């Protein structure tokens, strides 16, 4: 049982994560993607918006996506509650502060803005798109890492290389 | 039931994401600082299995238990994959979270992920507002 309760090694979790692509196609006929949920949530929160991006969103047709992300939360709850011997530390202690909240808000803004502009995130482009050999998804994934590694280099410079 | 299956499929995804710890800030930092290879190996092996799944479904063209045809959609080329992709990468580093893990963190009881989700919704709204003026 211990191996189940500890964090799973990459050679177990990687293939199981990839299997989501197949399970979602086989049982749901849907292409894996998570960041469209931001558009649906925004459209639901602002039903009277006249911005075409929100007004033209087909929330009803795409409602599966909201069930899917609710499921992600449920699955993670089950993992933490019943399948972990140690508490999972999602964010480091220094993020539980006002400055942490500001960082999460600003970073989250970039996540929302960027994934909607790119029309996909790590799920839709990296997993689904690359599994289907889509060139635009390859460019998207290269850009994700270009952004992340640039931010890492800047953070390292700002901290004097101590990070 | 037709929609409940997406809740179950999402629960599978969320459970595996959390058990692999790719939903934690320190794993994402360790990836971007090249401290451990785990996340690169997870992403690479996930894509290999995903490719196998897509290949098998293309070959066997099964139907879903509800008799639906399985459609695998192409990804259209547009400039946003570069610009938006880069901006997302910056946010990915800052928050240590991509969209799936935001929901996983919330479900796992990390309430500060609400700030990340709120930020993402504000970012989406800003995109909706600016979209007509941005390169596609």
| Statement: residue B64 has pLDDT above 70 | yes
Domain boundary among A88, A110, A142: A88
From chain A, the residues in CB contact with B3 under 8 A are 63-64, 67
How many independent structural domains does chain A possess? Answer: 2
pLDDT tens string B2-57 = 899 999 999 999 999 999 999 999 999 999 999 999 999 999 999 999 999 999 99
Contact B23 A89 (CB under 8 A): no
Q: Which of A25, A42, A132 sits opposite B128 (nearest CB)?
A: A42
A137 & A151 share domain:
yes
A37 & A6 share domain:
yes
- Tell which residue, A4, A99, A24, has the closest CA to residue A65: A24
- Tell which residue, B128, B124, B96, has the closest CA to residue B112: B96
A16 & A53 share domain:
yes
A2 & A81 share domain:
yes
Shortest distance, CA B38 to any CA of chain A (angstroms): 6
| Statement: residue A162 has pLDDT above 60 | no
Helix (H, G, I), strand (E, B) or coil at B63: strand
Shortest distance, CA A3 to any CA of chain B (angstroms): 11
Helix (H, G, I), strand (E, B) or coil at A148: helix
Query: pLDDT band at residue A161, thresholds of 50, 70 and 90?
Result: low
Q: What is the dihedral of CA A105, B112, B11, A81, to 10 degrees?
A: 170
Q: Write down the pLDDT at residue A3.
A: 84
| Statement: residue A2 has pLDDT above 90 | no
Question: What DSSP assignment string belongs to A53-99?
Answer: HHHT--TTTTTHHHHHHHHHHHHHHHHHHHS-SS----S-GGGSSHH
pLDDT tens string A37-81 = 999 999 999 999 999 999 999 999 999 999 999 999 999 999 999
A9 & A83 share domain:
yes
- Is the CA virtual torsion A87, A92, A93, A97 positive or negative? negative
* pLDDT over 90 percentage in chain A: 93
Mean pLDDT over A151-163 rounds to: 83
Domain ranges, residue A126: 91-163
Contact B122 A108 (CB under 8 A): yes
A106 & A154 share domain:
yes
Contact A118 B88 (CB under 8 A): yes
Query: pLDDT band at residue A147, thresholds of 50, 70 and 90?
Result: very high
A102 & A78 share domain:
no
A97 & A74 share domain:
no
Domain boundary among A88, A118, A136: A88
From chain A, the residues in CB contact with B36 under 8 A are none
| Statement: residue A163 has pLDDT above 60 | no
A137 & A99 share domain:
yes
Mean pLDDT over A154-163 rounds to: 79
pLDDT tens string B66-116 = 999 999 999 999 999 999 999 999 999 999 999 999 999 999 999 999 999
The number of C-beta contacts closer than 8 angstroms across A and B is 469
A72 & A142 share domain:
no
Mean pLDDT over A123-150 rounds to: 98
Q: Identify the helix (H) or strand (E) that includes residue A109.
A: helix A98-118
A81 & A123 share domain:
no
pLDDT tens string A98-107 = 999 999 999 9
Domain boundary among A68, A88, A108: A88
Contact B13 A68 (CB under 8 A): yes
Shortest distance, CA A99 to any CA of chain B (angstroms): 11
From chain A, the residues in CB contact with B92 under 8 A are 107, 111, 122, 144, 147-148
Q: Which of A28, A39, A125 sits opposite B64 (nearest CB)?
A: A28
Cβ contact B5:A28 at 8 Å: yes
A151 & A104 share domain:
yes
- Tell which residue, A54, A124, A109, has the closest CA to residue B132: A54
Contact A92 B106 (CB under 8 A): no
Q: What is the mean pLDDT of chain B?
A: 96
Contact B124 A148 (CB under 8 A): no
């Amino acid at each position: 049982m211990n191996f189940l309760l500890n964090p799973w090694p990459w050679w177990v979790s990687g293939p199981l994560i990839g299997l989501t692509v197949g399970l979602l196609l086989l049982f749901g006929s849907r292409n894996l993607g998570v960041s469209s949920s931001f558009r649906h949530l925004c459209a639901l929160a602002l039903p009277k918006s006249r911005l075409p991006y929100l007004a033209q969103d087909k929330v009803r047709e795409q409602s599966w996506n909201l069930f899917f992300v609710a499921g992600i939360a449920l699955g993670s709850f089950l993992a933490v509650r019943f399948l972990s011997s140690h508490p999972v530390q999602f964010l480091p202690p220094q993020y539980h502060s006002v400055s942490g909240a500001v960082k999460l808000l600003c970073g989250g803004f970039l996540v929302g803005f960027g994934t909607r502009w790119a029309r996909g995130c790590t799920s839709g482009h990296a997993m689904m798109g690359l599994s289907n050999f889509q060139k635009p998804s390859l460019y998207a994934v290269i850009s994700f890492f270009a952004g992340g590694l640039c931010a890492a280099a800047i953070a390292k410079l700002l901290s004097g290389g101590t990070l | 039931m037709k929609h409940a299956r997406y809740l179950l499929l999402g629960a599978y995804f969320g459970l595996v994401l959390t058990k692999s710890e790719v939903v934690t800030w320190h794993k994402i930092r360790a990836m971007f600082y090249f401290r451990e290879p785990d996340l690169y190996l997870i992403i690479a092996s996930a894509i290999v299995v995903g490719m196998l799944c897509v290949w098998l479904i293309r070959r066997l063209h099964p139907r879903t238990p509800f008799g639906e045809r399985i459609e695998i959609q192409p990804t259209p080329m547009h400039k946003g994959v570069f610009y938006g992709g880069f901006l997302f990468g910056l946010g990915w580093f800052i928050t240590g979270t991509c969209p799936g893990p935001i929901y996983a963190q919330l479900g796992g009881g990390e309430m500060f992920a609400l700030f990340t989700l709120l930020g993402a919704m504000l970012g989406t709204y800003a995109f909706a507002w600016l979209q007509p003026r941005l390169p596609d």
